[in-house]
Protein backbone atom coordinates (compact mmCIF):
# COMPACT_ATOMS: atom_id res chain seq x y z
CA UNK A 1 0.00 0.00 0.00
CA UNK A 2 1.30 3.45 -0.93
CA UNK A 3 2.46 5.48 2.07
CA UNK A 4 1.85 9.15 1.34
CA UNK A 5 3.51 11.71 3.55
CA UNK A 6 1.63 14.80 4.67
CA UNK A 7 2.89 18.02 6.19
CA UNK A 8 0.77 20.94 7.36
CA UNK A 9 1.73 24.61 7.51
CA UNK A 10 -0.27 26.65 9.99
CA UNK A 11 0.26 30.24 11.08
CA UNK A 12 -0.22 32.35 14.16
CA UNK A 13 -2.14 34.94 12.10
CA UNK A 14 -3.49 35.60 8.65
CA UNK A 15 -0.77 36.76 6.23
CA UNK A 16 1.96 35.04 8.23
CA UNK A 17 3.27 33.63 4.96
CA UNK A 18 1.62 30.20 4.92
CA UNK A 19 0.76 30.24 1.22
CA UNK A 20 4.26 31.18 0.10
CA UNK A 21 5.77 28.63 2.50
CA UNK A 22 3.62 25.87 1.02
CA UNK A 23 4.64 26.94 -2.49
CA UNK A 24 8.31 26.86 -1.50
CA UNK A 25 8.04 23.40 0.06
CA UNK A 26 6.14 22.09 -2.97
CA UNK A 27 9.02 23.28 -5.15
CA UNK A 28 11.68 21.83 -2.84
CA UNK A 29 10.01 18.42 -2.69
CA UNK A 30 9.59 18.43 -6.46
CA UNK A 31 13.29 19.26 -6.88
CA UNK A 32 14.06 16.34 -4.57
CA UNK A 33 12.22 13.94 -6.87
CA UNK A 34 8.82 13.62 -5.20
CA UNK A 35 5.36 13.90 -6.72
CA UNK A 36 3.86 16.61 -4.53
CA UNK A 37 0.53 18.42 -4.37
CA UNK A 38 -0.84 21.33 -2.29
CA UNK A 39 -4.09 21.24 -0.35
CA UNK A 40 -6.19 23.82 1.50
CA UNK A 41 -9.54 22.52 2.61
CA UNK A 42 -11.17 25.94 2.94
CA UNK A 43 -9.93 29.16 1.44
CA UNK A 44 -11.43 32.64 1.70
CA UNK A 45 -10.27 34.77 -1.22
CA UNK A 46 -11.54 36.92 -4.06
CA UNK A 47 -8.53 35.96 -6.18
CA UNK A 48 -9.62 32.75 -7.89
CA UNK A 49 -8.83 30.66 -10.95
CA UNK A 50 -10.65 28.23 -13.22
CA UNK A 51 -9.20 24.74 -13.54
CA UNK A 52 -9.21 22.68 -16.72
CA UNK A 53 -12.38 20.90 -15.57
CA UNK A 54 -14.13 24.25 -15.17
CA UNK A 55 -13.98 24.45 -11.38
CA UNK A 56 -13.18 27.58 -9.38
CA UNK A 57 -10.45 27.44 -6.73
CA UNK A 58 -8.30 29.89 -4.79
CA UNK A 59 -5.42 31.47 -6.70
CA UNK A 60 -2.94 30.48 -3.98
CA UNK A 61 -3.44 26.78 -4.67
CA UNK A 62 -2.82 27.44 -8.37
CA UNK A 63 0.51 29.08 -7.52
CA UNK A 64 1.38 26.14 -5.28
CA UNK A 65 0.45 23.65 -8.01
CA UNK A 66 2.65 25.56 -10.47
CA UNK A 67 5.51 25.34 -7.98
CA UNK A 68 4.89 21.59 -7.75
CA UNK A 69 4.86 21.29 -11.54
CA UNK A 70 1.31 19.93 -11.78
CA UNK A 71 -2.08 21.02 -13.08
CA UNK A 72 -4.38 22.51 -10.41
CA UNK A 73 -7.59 20.64 -9.62
CA UNK A 74 -10.62 21.34 -7.42
CA UNK A 75 -9.42 18.71 -4.92
CA UNK A 76 -6.60 21.07 -3.95
CA UNK A 77 -9.14 23.59 -2.61
CA UNK A 78 -12.51 21.83 -2.17
CA UNK A 79 -14.17 24.76 -0.36
CA UNK A 80 -13.72 28.36 -1.52
CA UNK A 81 -15.45 31.29 0.19
CA UNK A 82 -15.85 34.51 -1.79
CA UNK A 83 -17.05 37.38 0.43
CA UNK A 84 -19.99 39.32 -0.97
CA UNK A 85 -20.52 41.57 2.07
CA UNK A 86 -18.86 42.01 5.48
CA UNK A 87 -21.12 39.27 6.89
CA UNK A 88 -21.87 37.02 3.91
CA UNK A 89 -20.14 34.99 1.24
CA UNK A 90 -20.62 32.77 -1.77
CA UNK A 91 -19.69 29.16 -0.98
CA UNK A 92 -18.02 27.20 -3.78
CA UNK A 93 -17.74 23.44 -3.25
CA UNK A 94 -15.55 21.35 -5.54
CA UNK A 95 -15.38 24.24 -7.97
CA UNK A 96 -19.10 25.06 -8.25
CA UNK A 97 -21.33 27.54 -6.46
CA UNK A 98 -23.23 25.76 -3.68
CA UNK A 99 -24.96 28.68 -1.98
CA UNK A 100 -24.67 32.25 -0.72
CA UNK A 101 -24.77 32.32 3.04
CA UNK A 102 -24.18 34.48 6.11
CA UNK A 103 -21.06 33.96 8.22
CA UNK A 104 -23.21 32.75 11.14
CA UNK A 105 -25.03 30.21 9.01
CA UNK A 106 -21.82 29.06 7.33
CA UNK A 107 -20.47 27.70 10.59
CA UNK A 108 -23.66 25.68 11.00
CA UNK A 109 -23.02 24.35 7.49
CA UNK A 110 -19.37 23.30 7.90
CA UNK A 111 -19.99 19.83 9.43
CA UNK A 112 -21.71 18.80 6.20
CA UNK A 113 -18.60 19.82 4.25
CA UNK A 114 -16.19 17.70 6.26
CA UNK A 115 -16.75 14.55 4.20
CA UNK A 116 -16.20 16.48 0.95
CA UNK A 117 -12.94 17.88 2.33
CA UNK A 118 -11.79 14.49 3.60
CA UNK A 119 -12.52 12.75 0.29
CA UNK A 120 -10.65 15.41 -1.67
CA UNK A 121 -7.57 15.01 0.50
CA UNK A 122 -7.76 11.22 0.23
CA UNK A 123 -7.78 11.48 -3.57
CA UNK A 124 -4.64 13.58 -3.46
CA UNK A 125 -2.97 11.19 -1.03
CA UNK A 126 -3.69 8.34 -3.42
CA UNK A 127 -2.10 10.17 -6.35
CA UNK A 128 0.97 11.85 -4.80
CA UNK A 129 3.99 11.04 -2.65
CA UNK A 130 3.64 14.16 -0.48
CA UNK A 131 0.70 16.48 0.18
CA UNK A 132 1.54 19.85 1.72
CA UNK A 133 -1.51 21.19 3.56
CA UNK A 134 -2.13 24.85 4.30
CA UNK A 135 -4.15 26.05 7.27
CA UNK A 136 -6.09 29.31 7.42
CA UNK A 137 -5.86 32.25 9.75
CA UNK A 138 -4.89 30.96 13.19
CA UNK A 139 -5.67 27.58 14.80
CA UNK A 140 -6.19 29.41 18.11
CA UNK A 141 -9.38 31.23 17.12
CA UNK A 142 -11.29 29.83 20.04
CA UNK A 143 -14.64 31.20 18.83
CA UNK A 144 -14.34 29.13 15.63
CA UNK A 145 -12.61 25.96 16.80
CA UNK A 146 -15.71 23.85 17.29
CA UNK A 147 -16.74 24.07 13.64
CA UNK A 148 -13.54 24.82 11.76
CA UNK A 149 -12.55 22.49 8.90
CA UNK A 150 -9.18 23.87 7.91
CA UNK A 151 -6.72 23.80 10.81
CA UNK A 152 -6.31 21.35 13.70
CA UNK A 153 -9.39 19.32 12.81
CA UNK A 154 -7.72 18.36 9.52
CA UNK A 155 -4.36 17.76 11.20
CA UNK A 156 -5.97 15.42 13.73
CA UNK A 157 -8.08 13.59 11.16
CA UNK A 158 -5.00 12.67 9.14
CA UNK A 159 -2.43 12.61 11.97
CA UNK A 160 -0.45 15.25 10.09
CA UNK A 161 2.63 16.93 11.58
CA UNK A 162 2.27 20.71 11.77
CA UNK A 163 4.87 23.43 11.33
CA UNK A 164 3.78 26.74 12.89
CA UNK A 165 4.79 29.96 11.07
CA UNK A 166 5.04 33.36 12.73
CA UNK A 167 5.52 36.74 11.03
CA UNK A 168 8.30 38.68 12.76
CA UNK A 169 7.91 41.70 10.47
CA UNK A 170 4.66 42.70 12.18
CA UNK A 171 6.17 42.46 15.65
CA UNK A 172 5.19 40.26 18.60
CA UNK A 173 6.18 37.01 16.90
CA UNK A 174 7.44 35.31 20.06
CA UNK A 175 4.30 36.16 22.01
CA UNK A 176 2.13 35.00 19.12
CA UNK A 177 3.91 31.65 18.82
CA UNK A 178 3.86 31.00 22.57
CA UNK A 179 0.28 32.24 22.90
CA UNK A 180 -0.96 30.14 19.99
CA UNK A 181 0.53 26.98 21.47
CA UNK A 182 -0.91 27.83 24.90
CA UNK A 183 -4.42 28.07 23.45
CA UNK A 184 -4.23 24.69 21.71
CA UNK A 185 -5.45 21.48 23.31
CA UNK A 186 -2.78 19.03 24.44
CA UNK A 187 -3.33 16.63 21.52
CA UNK A 188 -3.14 19.60 19.12
CA UNK A 189 0.13 20.83 20.64
CA UNK A 190 1.55 17.33 20.18
CA UNK A 191 1.02 17.62 16.43
CA UNK A 192 3.09 20.83 16.23
CA UNK A 193 6.58 19.54 15.47
CA UNK A 194 8.44 22.76 14.80
CA UNK A 195 8.32 26.55 14.57
CA UNK A 196 9.33 28.86 11.71
CA UNK A 197 10.11 32.58 11.95
CA UNK A 198 9.11 34.29 8.71
CA UNK A 199 9.80 37.68 7.07
CA UNK A 200 12.94 38.50 9.07
CA UNK A 201 15.00 41.58 8.19
CA UNK A 202 18.56 41.99 9.47
CA UNK A 203 21.22 39.91 11.18
CA UNK A 204 19.81 36.61 12.43
CA UNK A 205 22.47 36.35 15.15
CA UNK A 206 20.71 39.20 16.95
CA UNK A 207 17.73 36.96 17.76
CA UNK A 208 19.57 33.74 18.59
CA UNK A 209 18.94 34.11 22.33
CA UNK A 210 15.24 34.68 21.65
CA UNK A 211 15.12 31.55 19.49
CA UNK A 212 16.69 29.55 22.31
CA UNK A 213 14.13 30.95 24.75
CA UNK A 214 11.34 30.00 22.35
CA UNK A 215 12.63 26.43 22.18
CA UNK A 216 12.91 26.14 25.97
CA UNK A 217 9.52 27.74 26.63
CA UNK A 218 7.54 25.71 24.09
CA UNK A 219 9.56 22.51 23.85
CA UNK A 220 9.41 22.87 20.06
CA UNK A 221 12.46 23.25 17.80
CA UNK A 222 12.85 26.38 15.72
CA UNK A 223 13.37 24.97 12.24
CA UNK A 224 14.59 28.18 10.66
CA UNK A 225 14.34 31.91 10.08
CA UNK A 226 13.20 32.89 6.59
CA UNK A 227 14.26 36.34 5.33
CA UNK A 228 11.84 38.99 4.09
CA UNK A 229 12.11 39.21 0.31
CA UNK A 230 10.96 41.58 -2.42
CA UNK A 231 12.83 40.35 -5.47
CA UNK A 232 10.96 37.07 -6.07
CA UNK A 233 7.95 37.63 -8.32
CA UNK A 234 5.17 35.28 -7.25
CA UNK A 235 1.45 36.09 -7.35
CA UNK A 236 0.02 37.07 -3.96
CA UNK A 237 -3.26 35.65 -2.71
CA UNK A 238 -5.20 38.33 -0.88
CA UNK A 239 -5.93 42.02 -1.26
CA UNK A 240 -4.11 42.46 2.09
CA UNK A 241 -1.05 42.48 -0.14
CA UNK A 242 -2.28 45.69 -1.75
CA UNK A 243 -2.07 47.39 1.66
CA UNK A 244 1.47 46.13 2.23
CA UNK A 245 2.93 46.26 -1.28
CA UNK A 246 5.92 48.55 -1.64
CA UNK A 247 5.48 51.83 -3.51
CA UNK A 248 5.91 51.07 -7.21
CA UNK A 249 9.49 52.00 -7.96
CA UNK A 250 9.16 51.51 -11.71
CA UNK A 251 10.46 54.36 -13.83
CA UNK A 252 8.78 53.30 -17.07
CA UNK A 253 7.12 55.64 -19.49
CA UNK A 254 3.57 54.34 -18.95
CA UNK A 255 1.44 55.06 -15.89
CA UNK A 256 -1.55 52.78 -15.31
CA UNK A 257 -4.32 53.34 -12.75
CA UNK A 258 -6.08 50.20 -11.54
CA UNK A 259 -9.23 51.12 -9.65
CA UNK A 260 -9.08 49.41 -6.28
CA UNK A 261 -12.69 48.38 -5.84
CA UNK A 262 -13.86 47.31 -2.35
CA UNK A 263 -14.47 43.76 -3.67
CA UNK A 264 -11.59 43.70 -6.16
CA UNK A 265 -10.87 40.21 -7.47
CA UNK A 266 -8.10 38.65 -9.52
CA UNK A 267 -5.85 41.68 -9.27
CA UNK A 268 -2.94 39.40 -10.21
CA UNK A 269 -4.26 40.00 -13.76
CA UNK A 270 -2.07 43.13 -13.65
CA UNK A 271 1.19 41.72 -12.27
CA UNK A 272 2.66 41.39 -15.79
CA UNK A 273 2.17 45.12 -16.35
CA UNK A 274 4.43 45.85 -13.39
CA UNK A 275 6.92 43.28 -14.66
CA UNK A 276 7.06 45.29 -17.90
CA UNK A 277 8.16 48.31 -15.87
CA UNK A 278 4.83 50.17 -16.01
CA UNK A 279 3.98 52.37 -13.05
CA UNK A 280 0.89 50.54 -11.79
CA UNK A 281 -1.03 52.43 -9.10
CA UNK A 282 -4.02 50.98 -7.23
CA UNK A 283 -6.40 53.90 -6.83
CA UNK A 284 -9.13 53.95 -4.18
CA UNK A 285 -9.72 57.71 -3.88
CA UNK A 286 -10.33 60.37 -6.51
CA UNK A 287 -7.29 62.45 -5.52
CA UNK A 288 -5.01 59.44 -6.16
CA UNK A 289 -5.91 59.19 -9.85
CA UNK A 290 -3.29 61.53 -11.32
CA UNK A 291 -3.09 61.54 -15.11
CA UNK A 292 -2.61 57.92 -16.14
CA UNK A 293 -2.08 56.71 -19.69
CA UNK A 294 -4.55 53.86 -19.06
CA UNK A 295 -7.34 53.26 -16.53
CA UNK A 296 -8.31 49.69 -15.68
CA UNK A 297 -11.57 48.65 -14.02
CA UNK A 298 -10.77 45.20 -12.61
CA UNK A 299 -12.92 42.23 -11.72
CA UNK A 300 -15.14 42.37 -8.65
CA UNK A 301 -17.26 39.94 -6.67
CA UNK A 302 -19.96 42.63 -6.24
CA UNK A 303 -20.41 44.68 -9.40
CA UNK A 304 -23.46 46.67 -8.29
CA UNK A 305 -22.09 47.53 -4.83
CA UNK A 306 -18.71 48.54 -6.25
CA UNK A 307 -20.35 50.63 -8.97
CA UNK A 308 -22.21 52.50 -6.23
CA UNK A 309 -18.85 52.99 -4.45
CA UNK A 310 -17.38 54.52 -7.62
CA UNK A 311 -20.17 57.07 -7.66
CA UNK A 312 -19.99 57.84 -3.91
CA UNK A 313 -16.24 58.29 -3.96
CA UNK A 314 -16.20 60.53 -7.03
CA UNK A 315 -14.08 58.00 -8.91
CA UNK A 316 -16.85 57.48 -11.47
CA UNK A 317 -16.76 61.21 -12.34
CA UNK A 318 -12.97 61.10 -12.53
CA UNK A 319 -13.00 58.08 -14.86
CA UNK A 320 -15.66 59.60 -17.11
CA UNK A 321 -13.89 62.94 -17.32
CA UNK A 322 -10.62 61.35 -18.38
CA UNK A 323 -12.28 58.89 -20.76
CA UNK A 324 -14.12 61.72 -22.53
CA UNK A 325 -10.80 63.58 -22.80
CA UNK A 326 -9.30 60.54 -24.54
CA UNK A 327 -7.71 58.43 -21.78
CA UNK A 328 -8.11 54.74 -22.73
CA UNK A 329 -10.08 52.52 -20.34
CA UNK A 330 -10.08 48.72 -20.06
CA UNK A 331 -12.74 46.85 -18.08
CA UNK A 332 -12.32 43.20 -17.12
CA UNK A 333 -15.23 41.01 -16.01
CA UNK A 334 -17.14 43.09 -13.44
CA UNK A 335 -15.26 46.14 -14.66
CA UNK A 336 -16.54 45.38 -18.19
CA UNK A 337 -20.11 45.22 -16.87
CA UNK A 338 -19.67 48.63 -15.22
CA UNK A 339 -18.62 50.23 -18.52
CA UNK A 340 -22.00 49.48 -20.13
CA UNK A 341 -25.26 51.41 -20.31
CA UNK A 342 -27.05 49.39 -17.64
CA UNK A 343 -27.07 46.20 -15.59
CA UNK A 344 -30.31 44.23 -15.33
CA UNK A 345 -30.89 41.84 -12.42
CA UNK A 346 -34.52 40.65 -12.59
CA UNK A 347 -33.72 37.56 -10.49
CA UNK A 348 -31.93 39.67 -7.85
CA UNK A 349 -28.82 37.55 -8.22
CA UNK A 350 -26.51 40.21 -6.82
CA UNK A 351 -28.65 42.85 -5.13
CA UNK A 352 -32.18 44.12 -4.61
CA UNK A 353 -31.74 46.49 -7.56
CA UNK A 354 -33.38 45.07 -10.67
CA UNK A 355 -31.81 47.74 -12.88
CA UNK A 356 -28.70 49.87 -12.35
CA UNK A 357 -27.22 52.47 -14.69
CA UNK A 358 -23.66 51.79 -15.81
CA UNK A 359 -20.95 54.31 -16.64
CA UNK A 360 -22.15 54.45 -20.24
CA UNK A 361 -18.72 54.24 -21.88
CA UNK A 362 -19.72 51.19 -23.93
CA UNK A 363 -23.05 50.66 -25.66
CA UNK A 364 -23.73 47.30 -24.02
CA UNK A 365 -26.25 45.90 -21.53
CA UNK A 366 -25.55 43.18 -18.96
CA UNK A 367 -28.13 40.67 -17.71
CA UNK A 368 -27.28 38.89 -14.47
CA UNK A 369 -28.11 35.19 -14.44
CA UNK A 370 -28.08 32.69 -11.58
CA UNK A 371 -25.70 30.27 -13.27
CA UNK A 372 -22.00 31.08 -12.99
CA UNK A 373 -19.77 30.70 -16.05
CA UNK A 374 -16.35 29.24 -15.21
CA UNK A 375 -14.11 28.05 -18.02
CA UNK A 376 -10.65 28.32 -19.48
CA UNK A 377 -10.64 29.75 -23.00
CA UNK A 378 -8.48 30.10 -26.09
CA UNK A 379 -9.33 33.09 -28.26
CA UNK A 380 -8.43 35.13 -31.33
CA UNK A 381 -8.38 38.91 -31.47
CA UNK A 382 -11.16 40.13 -33.77
CA UNK A 383 -10.71 43.91 -33.68
CA UNK A 384 -7.90 45.84 -35.33
CA UNK A 385 -8.01 49.40 -34.01
CA UNK A 386 -6.84 51.52 -31.10
CA UNK A 387 -5.67 49.41 -28.19
CA UNK A 388 -5.98 46.27 -30.35
CA UNK A 389 -4.35 47.69 -33.50
CA UNK A 390 -2.16 45.20 -35.32
CA UNK A 391 -3.42 42.24 -33.32
CA UNK A 392 -6.22 40.84 -35.49
CA UNK A 393 -5.98 37.05 -35.53
CA UNK A 394 -3.51 36.93 -32.65
CA UNK A 395 -4.15 34.00 -30.29
CA UNK A 396 -4.39 34.35 -26.53
CA UNK A 397 -5.55 32.34 -23.54
CA UNK A 398 -7.43 33.27 -20.39
CA UNK A 399 -10.33 32.20 -18.19
CA UNK A 400 -13.85 33.38 -17.42
CA UNK A 401 -15.56 33.69 -14.01
CA UNK A 402 -18.82 35.62 -14.14
CA UNK A 403 -22.56 35.52 -13.49
CA UNK A 404 -23.67 37.88 -16.24
CA UNK A 405 -24.16 37.99 -20.01
CA UNK A 406 -23.31 41.18 -21.84
CA UNK A 407 -24.91 41.99 -25.19
CA UNK A 408 -24.71 44.63 -27.89
CA UNK A 409 -25.61 44.85 -31.55
CA UNK A 410 -23.80 48.11 -32.25
CA UNK A 411 -20.28 47.83 -30.83
CA UNK A 412 -17.46 45.86 -32.47
CA UNK A 413 -16.65 42.54 -30.83
CA UNK A 414 -13.12 42.34 -29.45
CA UNK A 415 -12.41 38.60 -29.26
CA UNK A 416 -13.56 35.29 -30.73
CA UNK A 417 -13.51 32.32 -28.33
CA UNK A 418 -12.34 29.32 -30.33
CA UNK A 419 -11.75 26.64 -27.70
CA UNK A 420 -12.54 25.62 -24.12
CA UNK A 421 -11.45 22.44 -22.31
CA UNK A 422 -14.74 20.91 -23.45
CA UNK A 423 -13.73 21.27 -27.11
CA UNK A 424 -14.18 23.67 -30.03
CA UNK A 425 -16.09 26.85 -29.17
CA UNK A 426 -17.58 29.59 -31.31
CA UNK A 427 -18.74 32.71 -29.49
CA UNK A 428 -17.56 36.29 -29.16
CA UNK A 429 -16.32 38.03 -26.04
CA UNK A 430 -15.92 41.67 -25.21
CA UNK A 431 -16.30 44.83 -27.23
CA UNK A 432 -14.24 47.85 -28.24
CA UNK A 433 -15.62 51.29 -29.07
CA UNK A 434 -15.28 52.94 -32.47
CA UNK A 435 -12.21 54.97 -31.49
CA UNK A 436 -10.49 51.90 -30.03
CA UNK A 437 -9.98 53.52 -26.62
CA UNK A 438 -12.59 51.72 -24.48
CA UNK A 439 -12.23 47.94 -24.24
CA UNK A 440 -14.27 45.48 -22.21
CA UNK A 441 -13.80 41.72 -21.84
CA UNK A 442 -14.77 38.83 -19.58
CA UNK A 443 -11.35 37.21 -19.98
CA UNK A 444 -9.10 37.19 -16.96
CA UNK A 445 -5.40 36.69 -17.58
CA UNK A 446 -5.19 38.50 -20.92
CA UNK A 447 -2.14 40.52 -19.82
CA UNK A 448 -0.33 37.25 -19.10
CA UNK A 449 -0.16 36.74 -22.88
CA UNK A 450 3.24 38.23 -23.69
CA UNK A 451 2.71 39.30 -27.31
CA UNK A 452 -0.76 40.71 -26.58
CA UNK A 453 0.46 42.68 -23.56
CA UNK A 454 3.50 44.12 -25.28
CA UNK A 455 1.61 45.11 -28.42
CA UNK A 456 -1.15 46.80 -26.39
CA UNK A 457 1.42 48.74 -24.36
CA UNK A 458 3.22 49.80 -27.54
CA UNK A 459 -0.12 50.93 -28.97
CA UNK A 460 -0.55 53.05 -25.87
CA UNK A 461 2.91 54.57 -26.36
CA UNK A 462 2.08 55.43 -29.94
CA UNK A 463 -1.29 56.89 -28.90
CA UNK A 464 0.36 59.18 -26.35
CA UNK A 465 3.37 60.02 -28.57
CA UNK A 466 5.87 58.35 -26.26
CA UNK A 467 8.19 57.05 -28.94
CA UNK A 468 8.94 53.66 -30.44
CA UNK A 469 7.81 50.28 -29.24
CA UNK A 470 9.56 48.29 -26.56
CA UNK A 471 10.00 44.55 -26.18
CA UNK A 472 9.45 44.41 -22.44
CA UNK A 473 10.28 41.54 -20.11
CA UNK A 474 8.80 38.06 -20.00
CA UNK A 475 8.48 36.45 -16.59
CA UNK A 476 9.99 32.99 -16.24
CA UNK A 477 7.84 31.49 -13.47
CA UNK A 478 10.03 28.42 -13.09
CA UNK A 479 13.04 30.59 -12.28
CA UNK A 480 11.03 32.52 -9.70
CA UNK A 481 9.88 29.30 -7.98
CA UNK A 482 13.45 28.04 -8.02
CA UNK A 483 14.64 31.29 -6.40
CA UNK A 484 11.98 30.90 -3.71
CA UNK A 485 12.97 27.28 -3.11
CA UNK A 486 16.65 28.22 -2.83
CA UNK A 487 15.89 30.92 -0.28
CA UNK A 488 13.66 28.70 1.88
CA UNK A 489 15.85 25.59 1.57
CA UNK A 490 18.80 27.66 2.77
CA UNK A 491 16.79 28.99 5.71
CA UNK A 492 15.09 25.84 7.03
CA UNK A 493 16.43 22.60 8.50
CA UNK A 494 15.17 20.46 5.62
CA UNK A 495 16.72 17.18 6.90
CA UNK A 496 14.75 17.65 10.12
CA UNK A 497 11.55 18.40 8.18
CA UNK A 498 11.99 15.15 6.25
CA UNK A 499 12.50 13.31 9.55
CA UNK A 500 9.31 14.88 10.91
CA UNK A 501 7.35 13.67 7.90
CA UNK A 502 8.80 10.15 8.12
CA UNK A 503 7.95 9.88 11.82
Which residues are identified as catalytic? 333, 444
- Report CA 130 to chain centroid distance, whole Å: 24
Three-state secondary structure along 233-252? CCCCCCCHHHHHCCCCCCCC
SS3 211: helix
Radius of gyration of the chain (CA): 23
Distance CA 106, CA 440 (A): 35
Q: How many CB atoms lie under 10 A from the CB of residue 260? A: 19
b vs e for 99-128, b when ≥16 Cβ sit within 10 Å of the residue's Cβ?
eebeeeebbeebeebbebbbebbeebbeeb
Q: What angle do CA 478, 125, 29 make, to 5 degrees?
A: 30
* Strand, helix or coil for residue 47: coil
Helix (H) or strand (E) holding 452, with range, is helix 450-464
In angstroms, rounded to a whole number, what is the distance separating the alpha carbons of residues 343 and 86? 23
Distance CA 436, CA 450 (A): 20
Give 248-283 as a DSSP string: P----S-EEEEE--TTEE-GGGGHHHHHTT-EEEEE
Tell me how crowded residue 325 is: count the other CB atoms within 10 A of its CB: 8
Closest CA to 95 of 115, 114, 73, 116: 73
Instruction: Give 107-136 as a 3 state SS string.
Output: HHHHHHHHHHHHHHHHHHHHHCCEEEEECC
Phi-psi region of 378 (alpha: psi -120 to 50; beta: other; left: phi over 0): beta
CB proximity list for 79: less than 8 A, separation 6 or greater: 41, 42, 43, 91, 92, 93, 113, 116, 117, 149
Helix residue ranges, H only, 270-349: 271-275, 303-313, 315-324, 334-338
Residue 472 and residue 477: Cα distance in Å, rounded? 16
Amino acid sequence: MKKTKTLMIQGTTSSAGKSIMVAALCRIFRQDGYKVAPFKSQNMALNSFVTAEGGEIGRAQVVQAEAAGIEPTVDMNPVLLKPTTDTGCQVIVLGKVARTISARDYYKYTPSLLETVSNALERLRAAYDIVVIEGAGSPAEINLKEREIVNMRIAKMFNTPVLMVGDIDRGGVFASLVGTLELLEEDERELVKGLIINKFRGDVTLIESALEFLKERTGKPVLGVVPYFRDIRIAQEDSVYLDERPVNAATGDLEIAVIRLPHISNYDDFDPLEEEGCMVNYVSQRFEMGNPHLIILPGTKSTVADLAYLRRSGLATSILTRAKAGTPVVGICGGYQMLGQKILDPQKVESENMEVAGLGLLNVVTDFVAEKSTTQVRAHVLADSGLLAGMKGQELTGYEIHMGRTRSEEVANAFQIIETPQGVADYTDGVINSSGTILGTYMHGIFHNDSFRQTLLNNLREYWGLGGGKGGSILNKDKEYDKLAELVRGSLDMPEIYRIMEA
